[in-house]
């Protein structure tokens, strides 16, 4: 990881990206209940509608970017790349470079993704995390917090309601970089030092 030493520059941006499924099927986890009472969580059944939440986090300044897409494929990832380009104003700043750490999901290495990156003069450079190492990606900490706040033990009747809750979660992150830094704080310490 050559990039970690030369951090914090407006022309050099370090991001970690990942995707997470959000579904009408709630994520069930332990919770407090009264003694002798069992908490009941409704579920929609076996075939629950779902979407894929694509996101990237800057663990140094606490900025996040996200998009929601119907599938976990290269189209969703390309939409995330476009959102990163808009958020960091890459077309207006050709000298600006983004290093984006991703896992080995096949969507990240699709031909369409490579063509897109070449077309944009390599302003976004992909770096691959080692296989099966989610603990190396601070975006996983963001997803874990999203599960706690939005989907754990919570039933949504409609996809629109679920997506609104996910959108509200991301708006909170966008206005609270200190929260993002608290969630991904151990990464900022590693990168800046």
Question: In this predicted model, what pLDDT tens digit does every residue of 46-100 receive, in sequence order?
Answer: 677 899 999 999 998 899 999 999 999 999 999 999 999 999 999 999 999 999 9
Q: What span, in angstroms and rounded, lies between the C-alpha atoms of 62 and 173?
A: 8
Contact in structure between 94 and 43 (CB atoms under 8 Å) = no
The 8 Å CB, 24+ separation contacts for 8-12 are 8/60, 8/61, 8/192, 10/96, 11/93, 11/95, 11/96, 11/97, 12/96, 12/97, 12/99
Q: Kindly list the structural domains of the chain, giving each domain's residue range(s) and its CATH number in brackets, ordered by start.
A: 2-22+49-192 (3.30.420.10)
User: Model confidence over 150-167: pLDDT tens digits?
Assistant: 998 888 989 999 999 999
Which pTM does this prediction carry? Answer: 0.85
């Amino acid at each position: 990881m050559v990039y970690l030493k030369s951090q914090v520059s407006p022309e050099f941006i370090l991001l970690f990206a990942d995707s997470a499924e959000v579904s009408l099927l709630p994520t069930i986890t332990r919770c407090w209940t009264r003694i002798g009472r069992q908490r009941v969580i409704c579920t929609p059944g076996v075939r629950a509608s779902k979407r894929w939440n694509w996101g990237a986090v800057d663990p140094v300044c606490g900025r996040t970017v996200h998009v929601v897409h119907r599938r976990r494929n290269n189209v969703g990832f390309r939409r995330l790349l476009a959102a990163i380009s808009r958020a960091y104003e890459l077309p207006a700043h050709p000298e600006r470079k983004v290093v984006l750490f991703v896992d080995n999901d096949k969507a990240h290495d699709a031909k369409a993704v490579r063509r897109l990156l070449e077309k944009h003069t390599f302003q976004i450079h992909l770096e691959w995390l080692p296989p099966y190492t989610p603990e190396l990606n601070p975006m996983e900490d963001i997803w874990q917090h999203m599960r706690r706040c939005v989907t754990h033990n919570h039933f949504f009747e409609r996809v629109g309601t679920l997506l609104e809750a996910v959108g509200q979660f991301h708006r909170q992150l966008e206005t609270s970089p200190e929260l993002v830094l608290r969630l991904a704080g151990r990464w900022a310490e590693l990168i800046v030092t």
